[in-house]
A and B are shown apart, each in its own frame.
Chain A
Amino acid sequence: MSKVHSVKNPIPHIDERAREADHPTSLVAHFGADKPLRLDCGVELTPFQIAYQTYGALNADRSNAILLCHALTGDQHVANVHPVTGKNGWWETLVGPGKAVDTNRYFVICSNVVGGCLGSTGPASTNPATGKVWGLEFPVITIPDMVRAQAMLIDRLGIETLFGVVGGSMGGMQVLQWTAAYPDRVFSALPIACATRHSAQNIAFHEVGRQAVMADPDWRGGRYVEEGTDPHRGLGVARMAAHITYLSDAALHRKFGRRMQDRELPTFSFDADFQVESYLRYQGSSFVERFDANSYLYLTRAMDYFDIAADHNGVLAEAFRETITRFCVVSFTSDWLFPTSESRDVVHALNAGGARVSFTEIETDRGHDAFLLDVPEFIDMVRAFLESAGTARGLTAGH
């Protein structure tokens, strides 16, 4: 375990982060005035750009493309060193040559969501109309907006039907949205640890995070870039609170218990005496290095607004009526942020529509974050599902 980390000022990597927002270290697709993004809020976003990464090669039939959808604080750097933090890609447990999402076999695409801060147009990007950072002038975006932008990217790449759409948490919401909005463009779908709508409890947690950001005096009503500040304390607290929801009581107990951090006895102060405190502070301080506070507000809001059934007369099954997509729904026993009951609701709606759906709940004590971790039973499931779907799609092993 690392030592006590205090939030430092100025925070490291802030310049790299600002640069990545407009000029990302990845592929970028630009969409000009002829291709506006029609947002649910009624605004047409134009021009805009989508930053993305690809791994592997598209086959001659263009039939082996898998779109990975990242979670709230993820980005397009799935399986390469992160340009800001220098850390490994966030899904290297799952994605790479010979891995469950085998880049020798599939053409893997991951794009930063619209509203994000790693190169797709969002509140941290420069508004071409003003020459200033968008900030809160940026229109509010939704999960369907993110998916609409991804579909435009997939069009640009010349791909008609995706072999697979895969994602966990907010990424899983995008997967479900893809299958509801573009049923004939998704051959197989893997929504992991997610739900068709955000629960009241989850909205409540997000509100705590947003209030933490906005309570930071350095937030400056969202104009911190212009004013040369950064609300890293508020964003750090938001991340600390959120991070607890990604774990489980059992996982925290196993990892930290009541153990002390570099000391034998309590200091009788508010220093980080306990390892779990030190760990959370570290999670908060490392997060703010790579993430924009306003972007965090926008993306949490997008999740809050998500409700597929509401877009289909309140009947979830309507969203998946006569779908031809092959589904594999996965949940984790200790995930209390997106509990198994939410995944079962998805499964029941899919059953009602006669969909070809598999579902399993993976036994683990690692909480919501389990989908990002080395959980062999989960990884085997993903591999098996994609392989069988690949056979049905006529993909040959390797190429």
Chain B
Amino acid sequence: MTIQSPTLPLIAPAQDYTGEYRSDHLVVAEMVERGSRVLDVGCGEGDLLRLLEQRGVDGRGIELSREGVNRCVAKGLAVIQGDADTDLDSYPNDSFDYVILSQTLQATRQPRAVLENMLRIGNRAIVSFPNFGYWKMRMELLVKGQMPRTENLPATWYDTPNIHFCTIKDFVQLCDEINVELERAVALNSRARPLRLNAPWWFWNMFGEQGVFLMSRR
């Protein structure tokens, strides 16, 4: 029997752990209220879901790779094999308090539709994504004249699953277009630590390697 190899890792986000957990997961988890219902879209091997459940959250997951799903089930998590682009349609309105999309937005075919769906299903959405406006990215393009590749995004242009990169500025603009309220925004540095809070947007767009946004319908 052949088992398909799991899909490429979307990115290798800053693997900075605070104890047991990835720091970007801790940033996301900190935005979620205790006792709420959460759907984690693209939940990987369930690390974030497990962190959330330990904090009294009732969590569900969707994951594309079979291997990821199997590992989640082994951890006792409720995860279905599915695709952010196609499977969100089947969820009823307002069925979750939060819908989370962690490091997956840039790999969806219809990021805008996915965002709209998330805010239909959930009262709030939390999205984290790699910022293509990060200064290292800009330098790669400016100096080398090639598609940027960094430690955290090492894939070449022809084998990357990331087909819809954006900058923090682009994302904020889209949120405005589709009437999304940004309740909280955090930019993380290359070690997935939050940048200083009072910095202006251009600073985040330049020095944030990832953006994490908590959103609701306007």
A residues engaging B (CB < 8 A)?
326, 328-329, 347-348, 351-352, 354, 356-366, 375-377, 380-381, 384-385, 387-389, 391-392
Contact = CB atoms under 8 A, between A and B. Distances in A.
Contacts of A387: 74
B165 to A, nearest CB: 30
Interface residues of B, number: 24
Contact of A357 (B75, B78, B92): B78
B8 interface: no
B1 A360 contact: no
A388 B75 contact: yes
Given A358-B79, A360-B66, A365-B1, A351 B72 contact: no
Contact of A360 (B37, B69, B90, B92): B69
Contacts of B78: 326, 356-358
Interface in B37-73: 37, 60, 66, 69-70, 72-73
Contact of A352 (B37, B60, B90): B90
B2 interface: yes
A380 B71 CA distance: 10
B92 A352 contact: yes
B69 A358 contact: yes
Max chain A C-beta neighbours (<10 A), residue from B1, B66, B72: B1
A398 B56 CA distance: 28
B95 A354 contact: yes
B101 interface: no
Interface of B: 1-4, 37, 60, 66, 69-70, 72-82, 90-92, 95
A358 B68 CA distance: 12
A229 to B, nearest CB: 43
A359 B90 contact: no
A388 B81 CA distance: 18
A128 B79 CA distance: 50
Given A328-B73, A358-B80, A348 B90 contact: yes
A381 B80 contact: no
A151 B3 CA distance: 38
Given A351-B95, A380-B70, A388-B75, A363 B81 contact: no
10 residue pairs, one from A and one from B, having the closest CB atoms: A388-B76, A384-B74, A359-B80, A348-B90, A356-B78, A360-B69, A358-B73, A360-B81, A384-B73, A352-B92
Given A365-B1, A388-B76, A392-B76, A360 B91 contact: no
A350 B81 CA distance: 14
